[in-house]
Structure 1
Amino acid sequence: MNSPSTVVAVTTSPLAKESPDVVRLTDVRRNFGKTAALDGVSLSVRKGEILGIIGRSGAGKSTLIRCLNGLERPDSGSVEIEGRDITGLSEQQLQPLRRKIGMIFQHFNLLSAKTVEENVALPLKIEGLPKAARLKRAAELLDLVGLSDKAKAYPSSLSGGQKQRVGIARALAGRPALLLSDEATSALDPETTHAILALLKDINRKLDLTILLITHEMEVVRTIADRVAVIDGGRIIEEGAVWSVFSDPQNDTTKSLLNTIRPRLPEHIAQRLSQTPVGEAVLSVDLAGPEANTPLFADLSAHLPNSFRLIHGGIDHIQEQPVARFFIGVTDPARLDPVLQFLKGRSARVEVLGYDARSL
C-alpha cells in the first residue's frame, strides 16, 4: 500500500503551464489539538482552471477551504490569493480580499426574507454600491444563471436547483477572481446536479473564472474539472489531469474513492477469486489515451487465438480522452504469460486479480 505521504506526479493540463496562479498554498499546516487537519499542503490553481479536491469525510477538505477564504488561520505555511499572502492579514485587511472570493454552499444559505434579486445584490449592498447599480448587476447575473423571471420571488418558492443558481449568482456579484464550491451539489438530485455543473462550466468559459471544487463526489470532478487533487489525512496524496488520475490511480485511497465510477469486477466473480493459481486467471486491463482506441482484443485474438474471454468492462471518455477498463479471463495456464506480455507490449496496465477455480 502506498504511504499516505506519497504524492504521485501526473501530467498536468496545458492550461496549468500558460496561466498565472490565482491560488498558491505552500506547506500549509493547521492543527486542532493533536489532530493535524492540514499536514503540509502545497497546491496551486491557475487562472481559468477548474480544480477538484476530493477526499473522504475528515480528510481536511473543509479546513482547506476555510484557510482559503481566511476563516481559518494556518499554524504555518502560506496561502496566496493572486500573489498576496493572506495568512498574516488582519480581519480588516481581509475584507476587501474576501470580495475576490465567491462561495457557493451545499445548503444555499439564502436569506428567506429577501427576494431573489435582493439575495444576489446583498454583497454589493454590504460593499456600499448604490441601489441602482446593485439591481443592475443582479439582473445581469440572474440572466446569466437563467433566472431572470424569478427576480421578485422569494427562496421558499424555488426548487433546490433554482436556489443553487441564486447562490451562484450571489457568489459572482463582486466579480471574484476565485469561486469556491463547497459540496455545492451534494443536496441535489442527479439531474439537477448535471444542470448545475453544466452552468458552472459555462460560467468558467464565459468569464475565464477560476473554480475550486471541494467534493466527495467523483462524478462532479469527472464532469467539469481540469485537474484533481486527492486529500487524505490532511495531505495531498495524488494530483494531476482528471483523465490521467481517473484512468490510472496510483494511491490506494484514490483507487477506493474511484470505485464508485470505474468499472468493477462483478461481485459474484470477485468473491470467488483466490490467490491459489488454480482455474481461470482473472485480469484487469487498463488503457488511456490513444492506446484505448486500438483494436486491442481483436489483435490479441489474432495473435493468440482462443486465449481469453471478455468478462466485463468498457470505454469512457474523460476530458475528451478515451479511458478503458476491462476484465478478462485466461483459462489455460500456458497462455497466461504470453497474454500478459502481449497486453503490456501494447501499453496496457495489467494486473492478475486472482483465480476462479469454479471455471474448471
Structure 2
Amino acid sequence: MTRIASAETRSIPADGEPSPVPHAGHGAERAADVPVVQLDGVVRHFGGTAALDGISLSVRKGEVVGIIGRSGAGKSTLIRCLNGLERPDRGTIAIEGRDITGLSEAELQPLRRRIGMIFQHFNLLSAKTVAENVMLPLKIEGMPRAERRERAAELLDLVGLSAKADAYPSALSGGQKQRVGIARALAARPALLLSDEATSALDPETTASILALLKDINQRLGLTILLVTHEMEVVRGVADRVAVIDAGKIVEDGPVWSVFSAPKAATTRSLLGAIRPDLPPAIVAELAARGERVLGVDLVGPEAATLLAALSIELKAPVRLVHGGIDYIQGQSVGRFFITLPAGAALPQAIAFLTRHGAHVETTGHVPDHV
C-alpha cells in the first residue's frame, strides 16, 4: 500500500524544523484560517514597465487556483515573486502567514522547501535516474539515503511510475517526464505546489492525464495548487478558482464556473473565445440578411437544459437553436445558446421570460427599432 503523508502530517515552518500538527481547538482553527498564499498590493517594475501593478490575491489551503493571462501579462513575474526569486518593489507576499518580502536568501531557503515547482520543460537531470531525480531535493535537505529511497518509491507509486525508477529521462515520454517532475516537487511535502505552464509542451491526451493526476493529488493530500497558464482548458479541467491577469493587474477573479459562464472583463472574454461558443460570422451574416431576430442566452443551473423548451411554451411558438449548447463545469450546467425567434414573436416578452429565469440575454442580428 502506498504511504503518502498529507501536507498536514509533517508541517515544516520556515526554520526548517518539523512541527506537530496543531491539536483540535482554537489554535488549529486559527492555523486553518491562515491563507497559504496572501498577496497585498504587490508591485514589481522592470525599468518603466510595471510587470505587476497592485496584485492582491488570497489562496486558501486545499484550493486549486488558476492564474491565466496572455504572454507578457505578468504571470511569470508573479510566480518568481512567490518563490522569492524576484523581490517586489512594494506590497507584501505571505506564505503560510509569514511575510517573505524582507527575508534574506538564507532565510528563504527553508521556506522554499514548503513550495514545490513543476515546469513546462520538466527540468530533469539527464545523468540521474528517475528515482535519483525525485530524491535530489531530499539529498540537498540532508535526509538519510534509506529514507530518501523510501520517499521516492512512495511518490513514484503515487504518479504511476514505480516501474521506471531506474530509467533515465531520455527513455521517458513527455507525460512521464512531467510525472517525475511532479513527484520531485512533492518530495519535501510542500504546502504549496506552483505549476508554471506545466502542460504547454504536452499533447491534449497527455495534458488530460496530468490534470487528472494533479486533481487526485489535491484531493488526496489536501495540497494547495497554483496553476500559471495561458490555456483555459487547463483551468476548466482542474481549478476551483480562476484569476485573470492583464497588464500586471487582476481583472477578474471567481469560481471557474462563474467566470466561464459570464466573463466580465474583455481580456477574459478574449481568452475564452477558443472554448466558449460564439456565433460564427457566416451565420450572423445569413441571419441578418433574412432579417431574423437572434438572442444570445447565458444560463447556469439545472434550467439550462429545459429553458428553451419552456420559452417555446411561453411564446406559443417554436424557438430555433442555431448555435451553442451546454457544458458542465465544477458540477454546474453552463448553457450558452444562440436562438432565433419565430416571425411575430414578441421580443420583449422573450427577453423578460429569460431574464426572470436568471439568464443573461444579448441581442444580435436584426432587432426592430422600437425594441
Query: Could you state the TM-score of these two structures normalised by the residue count of structure 2?
Result: 0.87
CA RMSD, 1 decimal:
1.8
Matched-pair contact (CA < 8 Å) for 2:318–2:342 = yes
2:301 counterpart of 1:289: yes
Matched-pair contact (CA < 8 Å) for 2:317–2:342 = no
Q: What's the offset of the Cα at 1:177?
A: 0.4
Q: Secondary structure at the match of 2:274?
A: coil
| Distance across 2 between alignment mates of 1:217 and 1:273 | 32
Which one of the candidate residues 315, 323, 347 is aligned to 1:336? Answer: 347
Which one of the candidate residues 31, 52, 61 is aligned to 2:45? Answer: 31
What is aligned with 2:163? 149
Equivalent position amino acid for 2:103 in 1: L
| Distance across 2 between alignment mates of 1:34 and 1:271 | 45
| Distance across 1 between alignment mates of 2:287 and 2:273 | 18
The change in CA–CA distance for 1:56 and 1:273 in structure 2 (over 3 A counts) is: farther
Equivalent position amino acid for 1:346 in 2: H
Which one of the candidate residues 285, 291, 315 is aligned to 2:326? Answer: 315
Equivalent position amino acid for 1:79 in 2: I
Comparing 342-351 with 103-112, greater Cα deviation is found at 342-351
The change in CA–CA distance for 1:355 and 1:19 in structure 2 (over 3 A counts) is: farther
Deviations 1:18-54 (A, max 9, x none): 7531000000000001111000000011101100011
| Distance across 2 between alignment mates of 1:302 and 1:165 | 53
What is aligned with 2:105? 91
Number of equivalenced pairs: 337
| Distance across 2 between alignment mates of 1:307 and 1:191 | 40
What is aligned with 2:221? 207
What is aligned with 1:132? 146
Equivalent position amino acid for 1:190 in 2: P
| Distance across 2 between alignment mates of 1:43 and 1:279 | 47
| Distance across 2 between alignment mates of 1:267 and 1:145 | 45
Q: What's the offset of the Cα at 1:338?
A: 1.6
Q: Secondary structure at the match of 1:254?
A: helix
Which one of the candidate residues 317, 342, 365 is aligned to 1:354? Answer: 365
What is aligned with 2:317? 306
| Distance across 2 between alignment mates of 1:271 and 1:111 | 55
Matched-pair contact (CA < 8 Å) for 1:231–1:237 = yes
The change in CA–CA distance for 1:333 and 1:27 in structure 2 (over 3 A counts) is: farther
Matches for 1:43-54 after TM superposition, within 5 Å? 43-54=57-68
| Distance across 2 between alignment mates of 1:68 and 1:202 | 24
Deviations 1:146-178 (A, max 9, x none): 000000000000000000000000000000000
Structure showing greater relative contact order (alpha-carbon pairs closer than 8 Å, 6 or more residues apart)? 1
Matched-pair contact (CA < 8 Å) for 1:273–1:356 = no
Matched-pair contact (CA < 8 Å) for 1:27–1:41 = yes
In structure 2, runs of 5+ residues without a counterpart are 1-31
In structure 1, runs of 5+ residues without a counterpart are 1-17
Q: What's the offset of the Cα at 1:309?
A: 1.7
Q: What's the offset of the Cα at 1:273?
A: 6.8
Equivalent position amino acid for 2:217 in 1: I
Q: What's the offset of the Cα at 1:140?
A: 0.8
Q: Secondary structure at the match of 2:148?
A: helix
2:174 counterpart of 1:160: yes
Q: Secondary structure at the match of 1:201?
A: helix
Matched-pair contact (CA < 8 Å) for 1:307–1:339 = no
Q: What's the offset of the Cα at 1:292?
A: 2.1
What is aligned with 2:183? 169
Deviations 1:203-226 (A, max 9, x none): 111110000000011011101111
Which one of the candidate residues 171, 174, 182 is aligned to 2:196? Answer: 182
What is aligned with 2:6? none
Matches for 1:16-27 after TM superposition, within 5 Å? 19-27=33-41
| Distance across 2 between alignment mates of 1:189 and 1:334 | 47
2:265 counterpart of 1:254: no
Q: What's the offset of the Cα at 1:306?
A: 2.6
Which one of the candidate residues 226, 229, 238 is aligned to 1:224? Answer: 238
| Percentage of matched positions with identical amino acids | 71
Q: Secondary structure at the match of 2:328?
A: strand
Q: Secondary structure at the match of 1:21?
A: coil
Deviations 1:249-273 (A, max 9, x none): 1111111111111112133113557
